[in-house]
């Protein structure tokens, strides 16, 4: 399976338009050591030609340059995306669906809870359907589902959704179970397994057991420390209260991911305040020393 990181920042991107925190300021003054990043999303493909998006970010139009797919013949319109999978219906993961409305047809693959939020709370799918067909495939929890190409053929990839510890989006306080999930993507013919978990409030033993099966693990890298926004004076809630397990600390993600055998462990959905975004920072060195990668837009993996 081919995996491309289309965007690796949390909501707002890096630098965020209205932010002058130390890392955003560094991204503006020294982008060579604090690379700008777009909002988190990834693309997966069995053949490197036909793709599925994992989340659809507000930056999707620019992000599609990373898959660089062109028509094989003389057709004037070419849609290299066979469907959009979403881990949740947060705005940074779903606004891009609206921006793909020129497709004519864009299959959506989500849990029932995520589809409910997109249909009735944010109305992102409802609004997109005024322009484009958006057929929906329901993802059950804890069951492997084949991903089908636009032409009806099997893609060679499967996805399994699993619930992760997190609350619903702010605009959907009543959302049903399954509103926030991670994905295990498999390409059976190659024994390839990738786990995609861009938002996660805790890592318990069951979840760690699941994640250890992956050769490539893409995990929530929102905050370095739990009180990051409070310490900067720009927020009132901790990372955990916002359903993002911080990297540092005794039960932070860094220590737990460092103990997993996965070949590649990569942080994505990194908030603009996170000091690991500055390559010369001690926090970045700590992540590197643990054998973990700080994701960058355009990074590619082949399993």
Which residues contact Mn ion by CB under 5 A? 10-11, 90, 92
Total residues at interface with ligand MLT (CB under 6 A): 7
Opening angle at CA 192, ends 188 and 194, nearest 5: 120
Under the binding rule (CB under 5 A), the answer on residue 9 touching Zn ion is no
Nearer to ligand MLT (CB atom), residue 125 or residue 222: 222
Residue 162 CA to residue 141 CA, distance in Å, equals 5
Closest alpha carbon to 118 in 140, 146, 97, 143: 97
Under the binding rule (CB under 6 A), the answer on residue 199 touching ligand MLT is yes
Residue 134 CA to residue 68 CA, distance in Å, equals 23
The pairing of strands 293-294 and 264-268 is parallel
Beta bridge partners of 218: 196, 266
φ, ψ for residue 98 (rounded to 5)?
-60, -35
Judged by CB under 6 A, the residue of 10, 85, 118, 303 near ligand MLT is 10
What is the nearest approach in angstroms of ligand MLT to the Cβ of residue 275? Answer: 18
What is the nearest approach in angstroms of Mn ion to the Cβ of residue 18? Answer: 16
Nearer to ligand MLT (CB atom), residue 121 or residue 279: 121
Quickly count: other Cβ atoms within 10 Å of residue 209's Cβ.
10
Under the binding rule (CB under 6 A), the answer on residue 90 touching ligand MLT is yes
What is the nearest approach in angstroms of ligand MLT to the Cβ of residue 89? Answer: 10
Nearer to Mn ion (CB atom), residue 7 or residue 178: 7
Helix (H, G, I), strand (E, B) or coil at 181: strand
Residue 262 CA to residue 196 CA, distance in Å, equals 13
Residues in 218-277 that interact with ligand MLT by CB under 6 A: 242
Q: Which does 272 bind (CB under 5 to 8 A by kind): Mn ion, Zn ion, ligand MLT, none?
A: Zn ion
Terminal CA-CA length for the chain: 5
Q: Which residues of the shown chain bind Zn ion in the complex (CB under 5 A)?
A: 19, 21, 24, 272-273
Q: Which residues of the shown chain bind ligand MLT in the complex (CB under 6 A)?
A: 10-11, 90-92, 199, 242
């Amino acid at each position: 399976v081919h995996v491309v990181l289309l965007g690796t920042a949390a909501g707002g991107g890096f630098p965020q338009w209205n932010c002058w925190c130390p890392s955003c300021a560094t991204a503006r003054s020294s982008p060579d050591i604090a690379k700008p990043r777009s909002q988190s999303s990834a693309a997966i493909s069995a053949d490197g030609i036909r793709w599925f998006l994992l989340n659809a970010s507000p930056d999707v139009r620019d992000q599609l340059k990373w898959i660089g797919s062109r028509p094989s013949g003389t057709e004037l319109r070419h849609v290299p995306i066979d469907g959009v999978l979403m881990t949740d219906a947060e705005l940074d993961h779903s606004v891009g669906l609206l921006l793909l409305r020129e497709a004519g047809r864009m299959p959506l693959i989500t849990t029932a809870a995520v589809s409910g939020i997109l249909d009735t709370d944010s109305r992102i799918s409802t609004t997109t359907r005024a322009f484009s067909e958006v057929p929906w495939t329901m993802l059950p929890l804890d069951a492997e589902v084949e991903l089908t190409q636009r032409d009806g053929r099997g893609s060679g990839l499967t996805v399994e959704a699993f619930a992760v510890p997190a609350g619903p989006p702010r605009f959907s306080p009543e959302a049903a179970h399954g509103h926030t999930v991670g994905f295990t993507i498999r390409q059976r013919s190659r024994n390839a397994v990738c786990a995609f978990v861009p938002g996660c409030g805790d890592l318990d033993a069951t979840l760690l057991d699941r994640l250890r099966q992956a050769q490539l693990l893409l995990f929530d890298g929102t905050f370095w420390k739990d009180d990051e926004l409070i310490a900067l004076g720009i927020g009132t809630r901790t990372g955990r209260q916002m359903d993002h397990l911080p990297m540092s600390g005794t039960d932070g993600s860094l220590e737990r991911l460092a103990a997993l055998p996965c070949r590649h462990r990569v942080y994505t959905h990194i908030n603009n305040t996170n000091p690991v975004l500055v390559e010369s920072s001690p926090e970045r060195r700590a992540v590197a020393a643990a054998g973990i990668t700080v994701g960058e837009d355009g990074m590619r993996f082949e399993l």
